[in-house]
Amino acid sequence: MADTRLIQGRYRLLDPIGRGGMGEVWRARDESLGRQVAVKCLKPLGPHHDQSFTRVLRERFRREARVAAALQHRGVTVVHDFGESDGVLYLVMELLDGRNLSQLLQDNEHRPLAVTDVLEIAEQVAAALAYTHQQGIVHRDLKPANIVRLADGTVKICDFGIARLGHDIGFTARLTGTGIAMGTPHYMSPEQIGGSEVDQRSDLYSLGCVLYEIATGAPPFDLDDAWAVLVGHRDTPPAPPRRHRADLPEYLEQIILDLLAKLPEQRPHDAHELTRRLLAGRTGPPYVPTVVTARPRPGPPEPTGREAGRLPSWTRDMSTGHKAAGPGPHSTPPDAAAGLSGAWTAHPAVQGERRAEHPATGARPDAVPASAPGAVSAAGPDRRRTPPPEAVEALDGRHHEALGLGRLGRWTEAGEIHREVAAARARLLGADHPDTLASRYEVAFTLSRTGRAADALREYKHVAEARIRALGPDHPDTLAARQEMAYVLGQLGRHFDAHQVYTAVLTARERTMGADHPDSLRCRHNLAFNLSRLGRLEDSYRMACQVAAARARVLGPQHPDTLVTRYEVAYALGQLGRWAEALRTYREVAEARARVLGADHIDTLAARYEIGISLGRLGRSAEALELYRDLIEDRSRVHGPHHPETLRARHGLGVNLGRLGRWEEALAESRDVCALRERVLGTGHPDTLVSRREVAVGLGWLGRWADALTEYRRVAAAREQVLGADHPDTLASRNDEAHCLEQLGRGAEAGELYRRVAVLRQQRAAGGR
């Protein structure tokens, strides 16, 4: 195909970035949205295939492409579009900035990867497989070339759906001589080789082969003859990886060997079990497998005539293909780049979730952002300028460095880098270039996470207005910025304004994408949360239930997004005083997250925190105290003793010590947490102010009202500076101050302060109307 070819009048093919048995992958430009994408074109079938089979193939392609497009997980490549153009079936996917594992091994001169890298890759691939298997999807062609590690460390699996299509063509139709790959022998499970029915455990076997290779530098059966490789998978136990690499942890070796069990029932039952074992190995005592793998007796390394007869007919004349790490310069597989990696300048937005602390209750799912940190504008490059590629690449690197700091919670440092990159991109590319706007978007995000909501709002407003001019009011990137504006308006206590923006964005999303599109549902989730802040608790609860039901229908009942909304349902129940129902829902969410995401996942731990909140509200503070002690231990182990979430759990512990009347202990805990939060988060951070207020509460209960007044006033002054004089949290702090004045016998001052608070509340209510 010529580089000027236009697919469906929309996707302009620019240059090839990979070629494999099923077709070829091109870097392309989406002329409609102005973004760079990857387009995979399947090879057209030759004239010797009958028309009925071709029709079946096309229909199957469409069905599998729909399945792939419905997958929504950070560890799975995003599919944007699919179709047929001039007899060529094509799939449009996100263009990834990274290297697949085959390339990483070659970059490392075919030496094994670092143990930490192997573990990180294993955990991320296991999480992605757990999600896809739960959707009923088996990959069937998992190999190093189909696993990409992005520049920011994220690992993605590619070619879902296409792998299934290749399976159907190869094994069901039994086509030969078409040039279509049957799979790579080095990573095929015994049941695939035998032509048996496969399930998710076949993917786990293939993952075991991949992990064996990246951990040792060679696949488990590193043979040049295809028959020998196939018989090895079927009959021969692999050499323990530590024979090749002594520094490999024993528990990791055992996990890999269990994945490579010949019989599916002898492997880990599913990817969730694999994730648990990996986490247990990292954080727990020496690994002891729950399944003792029975090792088959060694078979011959090469097939005899009788052995060959036991292999299916489709394997005849099969070459070994290419493993990821092979000797010599010709070891690069022809599909090594088919994992859709390549250079880019504008990245598609990545959808994600965000949390914010509620002043009274701690961590909970707040309004969900339109896009996660790291989302970069999908609009194409500004053609008015042709900056030096090395300068653009350097700024991309700095951008990703800042994103990494954000993921570590180091928002102040991340914000400084994003501001530098935004200024440099403005000089180099132009103020309204998509990459410049993407950096300013990230600046706004870091501002919102460091308590500077008003500054964040100004940045988001600038980005939204620029995107409206460049892309139009209904473009997904424009809507993303406007949705973030609504989120920050909520942070500022301007919930009526936030409601109006959310409603407008939701109307546009439903008109352009449909009511059940994940982005539309995300916006409705935000709207449900905002309704609770407007005091419309029944409406909030009703909408949250509707969104949870829709997400369960569209994404599945165990999907993380569905669980986020069920979490919001639980919060709404609490707001309505229905704490027993809230407790039950939080527990169901926590249990589901433990199964889907793992016991130590941040979302699982967050749900456990809310269980503690509910227990406290039900007067079961002794149970809450024990829960928080366990949670502090787990948070400290997973994140460290000074992590904000560990400190949040400690805050909950202090609150419940007070409820049990243990005020000296509660005050000591609150002071310690406040000091740590001040050092880690800053003096004006909302969490720090919540802790300072708890210090004041403890002082009051101990009768030290003068000291309590000092603390209450510090909290009120800080909130007024950050949030404004009429923000509900500021007004609550002024009420605390007035109550303290009353306790000190200064009734006139208290009365004047109460009157001032009442006036501000009336003015705010009038403005909201």
Main-chain dihedrals φ then ψ at residue 56, nearest 5 degrees:
-60, -40
HSE-CB of 458 using CA atoms within 13 angstroms: 4
Other residues' Cβ atoms within 10 Å of the Cβ of residue 619: 11
Number of Cβ atoms within 10 Å of the Cβ of 16: 15
If residue 9 lies in a helix (H) or strand (E), which one and from where to where? none
Nearest to 129 by CA among 11, 246, 339, 274: 274
- Which residue in 577, 603, 578 sits closest to 589, CA to CA? 603
d(Cα 476, Cα 354) in Å, to the nearest integer? 18
- Which three-class secondary structure string do you get for 128-170? HHHHHHHCCCCCCCCCHHHEEEECCCCEEECCCCHHHHHHHHH
Say how far apart CA 209 and CA 202 lie, in whole Å: 11
b/e map 710-723, b = 16+ CB within 10 Å: ebbbbbbebbbebb
Q: What angle do CA 95, 98, 103 make, to 5 degrees?
A: 120
* CA–CA gap between residue 461 and residue 546 (Å, rounded): 30
For the chain, the distance separating the N- and C-terminal CA atoms, rounded to the nearest angstrom, is 61
* Residue 28 falls in which region: left (phi positive, over 0), alpha (psi -120 to 50) or beta: beta
CA distances to 220, 241, 244, 362 from 247, in Å: 18, 10, 9, 43
What does the DSSP assignment read for 470-506?
HH-TTSHHHHHHHHHHHHHHHHTT-HHHHHHHHHHHH
Is residue 495 packed enough to be buried (19+ CB in 10 Å), middle (13-18) or exposed (0-12)? buried
Q: Name the residue type at position 662.
A: R
How long is the chain? 769
Beta bridge partner(s), residue 358: 362
Mark whether 141 is an active-site residue: yes
* C-alpha span between 363 and 99 (Å, rounded): 36
Helices 115-134, 271-283: axis angle to 10 degrees equals: 150
Residue 449 per-residue DSSP state: H
Long-range CB pairs of 622-626 (<8 Å, 24+ gap) are: 622/660, 624/652, 624/656, 625/653, 625/656, 625/657, 625/660
Phi/psi for 377 (5° steps) reads -55, 140
CA 88 to chain centre: 33
Could you tell me how far CA 206 lies from the centroid of its own chain? 24
d(CA 213, CA 122): 12
Is position 323 annotated in a ligand binding site?
no
Q: How far apart are CA 204 and CA 142, in angstroms?
A: 9
Instruction: Identify the active-site residue in 117, 141, 561, 603.
Output: 141
For residue 96, give the 3-state DSSP assignment.
strand
Task: Give the residue ranges of DSSP H helices in 245-352.
Answer: 250-259, 271-283, 305-310
Q: How many whole angstroms separate alpha carbon 233 and alpha carbon 26?
A: 34
Phi/psi for 535 (5° steps) reads 85, 5
Distance between CA atoms of 337 and 38, rounded to whole angstroms?
11
Which residue numbers belong to the known binding site for ATP?
Answer: 40
The set of catalytic residues is 141
Q: What residues form the annotated binding site?
A: 40
